[in-house]
Amino acid sequence: MTDDCRIYGSDRDETLFAVVDPVDYQWALQWRWSPKWSRGGTKVYLRRVAHEGTRVCRVQRTVWLHREIVIVRMGIVPPTPEHTMVDHEDGDEMNCRRINLRWATPSM
């Protein structure tokens, strides 16, 4: 992975980073990403908070790095309504390279 770029999820922990393709690197650097651990504490994903709406009525939503790469950067929509998740093909949730991301169903 020497040609890949690191997006850090913490200013204090240099071991907490996701790997993205060079084409997505500058785009991802626009925001500050933070880690979110799974319920069992076995997996970690990078996320950011997006603010939507007016100053009076602002809504926060969580934006996941791997989903944004598939939807926004690659422009790939789910193939069926059952495909609701973006999966990391190799099982490494911090490997957010395009070749490793795919739409999946919860049963997959």
| Residue 2 in this model has a pLDDT that exceeds 70 | no
Q: What is the reported pLDDT for 104?
A: 96
C-alpha span between 81 and 64 (Å, rounded): 19
| Residue 8 in this model has a pLDDT that exceeds 80 | yes
C-alpha span between 90 and 100 (Å, rounded): 7
Estimate to the nearest angstrom the gap between the alpha carbon of 7 and the chain centroid. 10
Please tell me which residue, 22 or 3, carries the higher pLDDT value. Answer: 22
- Provide the mean pLDDT of the chain: 91
For 70-104, the pLDDT digits (tens) are 999 999 999 999 999 999 999 999 999 999 999 99
pTM for this predicted structure: 0.87
| % the chain with pLDDT above 70 | 94
Characterize the bridge pairing of strands 85-88 and 34-37.
unpaired
What dihedral do alpha carbons 7, 11, 12, 15 form, nearest 10°?
A: 10
For 25-55, the pLDDT digits (tens) are 999 999 999 999 988 888 999 999 988 766 6
**Phi, psi of 65, rounded to the nearest 5 degrees:** -55, -50
